Amino acid sequence: MERRDLLAEAAIDVLATAGARGLTHRAVDAAAGLAEGTSSYYFRTRAALLDACCRRLASDVVTRVGAAAPSGGIEGLVERACAHLERVVGPDRPRLVARLELSLESTRRPELEAALVAAGAQVRAGVAAALADLGVADPQDAAVDLVACLDGLAFDQVAGAGRSVRDAAGRRRAVTAVVEAFARVS
């Protein structure tokens, strides 16, 4: 892994554990196990660190969506959505927390918002293609809403106010209901 990538990963870890306020060059250097000053050499400002996190997380999601197999009907789309949800509430939970931190930070930093919107557009385009394959009328609009609902399920499992954490079977039921609602041919 290249040094810039290593530092971006360390910055994501810091965001997930210490929040946006805890994201400092010193904290990133420590998380990466590198000499103090290393991250500021590669990313001069805190804004550059935030941008590196955003780009790294966006690249991961876009790669996953682009690598996903064709939907295989509604059942295939449900499987893909369930696999994604299980990954983000399980092993990739810190990455989801970091993405949520970046989302909040983007409300104050237009440059981050632009990067998140661009990545989100790519994800939604992949979902729209799967919905179009199912014959859904206006798959682009349906994809926007479907992704928002799935993001909401992930948020609720990780940081939701009600903290109604469900087991895998409960999450599958919720995802199935949401996907089936949006995948209806109209």
User: Residue 71 has what pLDDT?
Assistant: 63
Where do we find the tokens 């798959």?
139
72-94: pLDDT as tens digits: 888 989 998 999 999 999 999 99
User: Residue 38 has what pLDDT?
Assistant: 97
Instruction: Read off the pTM.
Output: 0.87
134-152: pLDDT as tens digits: 899 999 999 999 999 999 9
Amino acid, single-letter form, for residue 159: A
From CA 16, how far away is CA 23, in angstroms rounded? 9
Provide the residue ranges of all domains of the chain, joining segments of one domain with +: 53-182
Mean pLDDT of the chain: 89
DSSP for 69-89, written as a single string: PP--HHHHHHHHHHHHHHHHH
For 34, left (φ over 0), alpha (ψ -120 to 50), or beta?
beta
Please state which architecture CATH assigns to domain 53-182: Orthogonal Bundle (1.10)
From CA 2, how far away is CA 99, in angstroms rounded? 22
